[in-house]
Structure 1
Amino acid sequence: MIGPGAQPPTGAVLELLTSALRGHIELIIPVVERAARKLPQYYSLRDGGLVAVWSARKKLSATVDPGPDGAAAHAVELAYALDFLCDRYESLRPTAPA
């Protein structure tokens, strides 16, 4: 958790963070998509996984809003997309036998 009064990253730090988020998203999209497509059609976990993939791809191709807060807002959107993909991956993973 970020403490009170914390300022969002800017400049090179923000660019590095955004690049890392994009890279992680690009790596996990095919993993989530493959896992989701193995499930039966119209199965809620499959649909949720594919929605996460679609949403992440949309965020990756989104245009960054101009202005001082545009790049930071885009990074936040990418972070949410990555979190959504990770959640879906966890729900799609086969459980290990006990």
Structure 2
Amino acid sequence: MRNATTPAPAEAGRDPYRPDITTMRAAVRRLLADDAEPPSPEELDTLTLQLRGHIMVLIPQVEKATGRLPEDDVPRACAMACVGEARMRLSLEPGRGLPAGISHAQRLARSVNALADHLENLTP
């Protein structure tokens, strides 16, 4: 019997510390796709928490990826600006009502998307 913490054979080559970008982008699409339906208030709460968690996971990964680049490197500067904006968005609270909550979650989703793009561009 296989231990639950042992990676499945298909996942054996995958870095266990690398975020699951595919899952993160699925949450982003739920809010930003052209044909996205507005979420219910309960679903919005779940999505918002999920997106905040994704940002909290991505920020240190992007920072780590930029750490090996020179201080004056343009991709490094862009990634670090994205990190700063994501941190700022984490500190904000949504306004009152469903439309304000959706707008807040969409901003978080854009940060997740941008951080994921930077991580993919900065790591092999």
Structure 1 and Structure 2 fold alike (TM over 0.5): yes
Instruction: Choose the corresponding residue for 1:78, options 100, 108, 117.
Output: 108
Q: Distance in 2 between matches of 1:63 and 1:34?
A: 27
**Letter in structure 2 aligned against 1:53:** V
Determine if contact 1:10/1:72 at 8 Å carries over to the other structure. no
**Letter in structure 2 aligned against 1:75:** A
After superposition, give the CA deviation of every residue in 1:27-80 in whole Å (9 maximum; x if it has no partner): 010000111122101101110110111011011111212233111000000000
Number of aligned residue pairs? 92
Q: Distance in 2 between matches of 1:87 and 1:7?
A: 24
What RMSD over aligned residues (CA atoms) do the two structures have, in Å? Answer: 1.4
Determine if contact 1:36/1:46 at 8 Å carries over to the other structure. yes
**1:16 pairs with 2:76:** no
Determine if contact 1:32/1:89 at 8 Å carries over to the other structure. yes
CA shift, 1:2, in A, is 4.6
Identity %: 37
**Letter in structure 2 aligned against 1:31:** Q
Alignment of 1:1-12 (within 5 A): 1-3=33-35, 7-12=37-42
**Letter in structure 2 aligned against 1:92:** L
**1:39 pairs with 2:39:** no
Determine if contact 2:66/2:79 at 8 Å carries over to the other structure. yes
For structure 1, the 5+ residue unaligned runs are: none
**1:92 pairs with 2:108:** no
Determine if contact 2:41/2:98 at 8 Å carries over to the other structure. no
| Cross-structure match for 1:63 | 93
Match of 1:45, SS state, is helix
| Cross-structure match for 1:50 | 80
For structure 2, the 5+ residue unaligned runs are: 1-32
